[in-house]
Amino acid sequence: MDVPNELRWIGPIFGGIYLILWLTRGLTPFLAMTVFSIGIMMIVPQILVQVIVIVVFLIVAKRYRIASLIFFLSYFCSGISIQQPPIYYPGPEPPPPGVPLSPLSILMITPAMAAINIILFFQLSYLPTVAWLLFILILALLTPIISGLVVNNRIDAGRAILFYLIITVGWTFSVIPLYIYSGTMIILTPIPLGPLVALNTLSLIPSADIEPSEELSSN
């Protein structure tokens, strides 16, 4: 995909902004994005099955390999990093529940986890949580769909960048509902790794060759 020169700076700028955002949170987002994501893939059987299916598709579908890789990063390695800093407890007895015992409590909500938890929360009829999980799941699915449309020459680079930016902004503002219910002691960091990678690899996505008959008919 040929990206106009005036649009090539958008991906690096947004990548730099999020890198600075993550660095201000320390190493926690990087740990959540790598160690926690890989660990949860190996521990939870349902997510491990999803990983195997995506990896097989990555190997088989050569034309959509980059789009599949973007889906992998959006679905398994993107999400919301939840950090609970340690609380100083000077008491001689064990701290009460809610005070983290470890130096740092790390959790990351990914769309892969959301796909499983939506069913559980539907059983509990907790609709606000279901809506939020469904929202981040839709963002993760839209990102590779845009890449697939680029592969098939359905949209140009300008529209693809616009859609990627909307998805990235959606990831960013998705932490607002969590802040409303989580309190002030929780640090939330959006990690839209999938759309950020898509923004910076748009020029590497191969576009389908247009047949001469199609080109003549379009004229």
What would the pLDDT profile of 5-24 be if each residue is shown by its tens digit? Answer: 888 899 999 999 999 988 88
76-94: burial string, b at 16+ Cβ within 10 Å, e else = bbbbbbbbbeeeeeeeeee
Higher pLDDT, 198 or 117: 198
At which residue do the structure tokens 């407890």 appear?
89
Q: What is the token pair recorded at 18?
A: 């999020």
pLDDT, position 213: 39
In a domain, 187, yes or no: yes
Q: Domains in the chain: how many in total?
A: 1
Mean pLDDT of the 48-62 span: 79
- Residue 110 scores a pLDDT above 80: yes
Buried (b) or exposed (e) across 140-174, using 16+ Cβ within 10 A? bebbbebbbbbbeeeeebeebbebbeebbebbeeb
Residue 33 CA, distance from chain mean position: 10
pLDDT averaged over every residue in the chain: 79
Determine, yes or no, domain membership for 200: yes
Output the six-digit token pair for 135: 């929202």
From CA 21, how far away is CA 4, in angstroms rounded? Answer: 27
Q: What's the whole-model pTM score? A: 0.80
Q: If you compute the radius of gyration of the chain from its CA atoms, what whole number of angstroms results?
A: 20
Residue 95 maps to a domain: no
Answer whether residue 140 is part of any domain: yes
Q: State the residue range of the domain holding 198.
A: 5-87+102-206
Task: Determine, yes or no, domain membership for 201.
Answer: yes
Q: What pLDDT is recorded for position 182?
A: 66
Kindly indicate the confidence band of residue 138, based on its pLDDT and cuts at 50, 70 and 90: very high
Does any domain span residue 10?
yes
Lowest-pLDDT range of 6-10, 21-25, 38-42, 143-147: 38-42
Element (H, E) at 198: helix 193-200
Closest CA to 152 of 203, 207, 213, 202: 207
Residue 211 lies in a domain: no
Domain assignment present for residue 113? The answer is yes
